[in-house]
Structure 1
Amino acid sequence: MQITIREPGSAITHFIGMMMAVFAAVPLLIKAATASGSAAFTAMAVFMLSMILLYGASATYHSLTVSDKVLRIFRKIDHMMIFVLIAGSYTPVCLIVLGGPLGYTLLAVVWGIALFGILIKALWITCPKWFSSTIYIAMGWVCLWVFGPLWNTLPKSAFLWLLAGGVIYTVGGVIYALKLPIFNAKHAYFGSHEIFHLFVMGGSICHFIFMYRYVL
């Protein structure tokens, strides 16, 4: 039986991302459970689960060859998971690094934005790419609000990984929003969207290293 993948480049990149996240979750959660206790384990579990869901939803959406009605549902889920990943990435920082009223306030803000974004995608999946990217990027950089406390709490080297992840995600978001023709001219299965996928994976790797080395 022949298996047809609708968008091979996008599907394969994020299938690889999903498998990397699954395998990476094991040492991170073991370290969280043994070194930092149940609260840290829960926060890191949310972080890794959000990553696995993002890459799993994306790989599934780009793989399916189904009716337009069904595909629209999976497209919504794919886009919703971006908000989940961003909020999931904030969760360990809010609960472990910051803690207290400031950490819980930031946690409520980012998950509130995530729920707002999920609602937008549920009701308006055809919204312009620039609109979605603006929300993604703005949500990602809400951390500037707590830059001072983070700077005073974390080792300075931690900011290299935290900042690198943020910048890589942002560049990927810009590429996604602009969808520059130069990236799509010569490669039918590898264009601007697939490049965006690679930037997302790069940002995830940076933030995983940040979590493993500095947050726990």
Structure 2
Amino acid sequence: MNLLDYCGIALLIMGSFVPWLYYGFYCHFRPKVVYLSVVCALGVTSIMVSLWDKFSESGWRPFRAAVFMTFGLSGIVPAIHYGIVEGWFNYVSQKYLGWLILMGVLYIVGALFYALRVPERWFPGKCDIWFHSHQIFHVFVLGGALVHYHGISEMAMHRVTIGQCEIPDSPLY
């Protein structure tokens, strides 16, 4: 079941990136395709690492967490690109990047609880049933998914209301 859990995490990260990249770079075809390709390649790599028996050993726990955190943090590059293209101080950019950043923070904090085995590290035997790091991790992931859903819904509604794309002038498109 652990293998399915890790695959599910990789699919969740991929699923978080795809709609954000689709709507964020809606009018910018080339970067959208490049970023979507990179996300899919990283996702498949994460799934392959997850399914490899060697990495299922407890000694590899920090490495597994690092792989998924690196995968999640790979979204920084398209987020910076988006901020440059759309303008850092544009209200729309601030709004959408804010939801993305909050989602990322929730995912990372949850992964840190899991990787560092907090709180059971500090309270041995007291968190075996309730408040285990894996449970806390899932609460943070659920919160991140809800934040993501709200942000993507806002992006989709914005895309529907503004209509057609303008012809780009910037080489960043």
TM exceeding 0.5: yes
More helix by share: 1
2:46 to 96, 117, 120: 117
Q: 1:91 and 2:29 equivalent?
A: no
Give distance in 1, aligned partners of 2:36 and 2:97.
20
Q: 1:211 and 2:152 equivalent?
A: yes
Q: Would the alpha carbon gap of residues 144 and 123 (structure 1) be closer, same or farther in structure 2, given more than 3 Å must change? A: same
Give distance in 1, aligned partners of 2:140 and 2:124.
16
Tell me the equivalent position of 2:70. 138
Runs of 5+ in structure 1 lacking a partner? 1-73
Give distance in 1, aligned partners of 2:123 and 2:149.
28
Q: 1:77 and 2:17 equivalent?
A: no
Deviation per residue, 1:19-70 (Å, 9 max, x gap): xxxxxxxxxxxxxxxxxxxxxxxxxxxxxxxxxxxxxxxxxxxxxxxxxxxx
Q: TM-score, normalised by structure 2?
A: 0.75
Tell me the equivalent position of 1:129. 61
SS in 1 for 2:75: helix
Give distance in 1, aligned partners of 2:123 and 2:94.
36
What root-mean-square deviation, in Å, do the aligned CA atoms of Structure 1 and Structure 2 show? Answer: 1.8
Deviation, 1:183, is: 5.7
Q: Would the alpha carbon gap of residues 183 and 111 (structure 1) be closer, same or farther in structure 2, given more than 3 Å must change? A: farther
Runs of 5+ in structure 2 lacking a partner? 87-91, 158-173
Deviation, 1:120, is: 1.4
Deviation per residue, 1:166-206 (Å, 9 max, x gap): 00100111111111312654233121111111111111111
Tell me the equivalent position of 1:162. 100
Give distance in 2, aligned partners of 1:156 and 1:142.
19
Q: State the number of aligned residues.
A: 143
Amino acid at match of 1:167: V
Contact 2:21/2:32, CA 8 A, preserved across alignment = yes
Tell me the equivalent position of 2:122. 182
Tell me the equivalent position of 1:17. none
Tell me the equivalent position of 2:138. 197
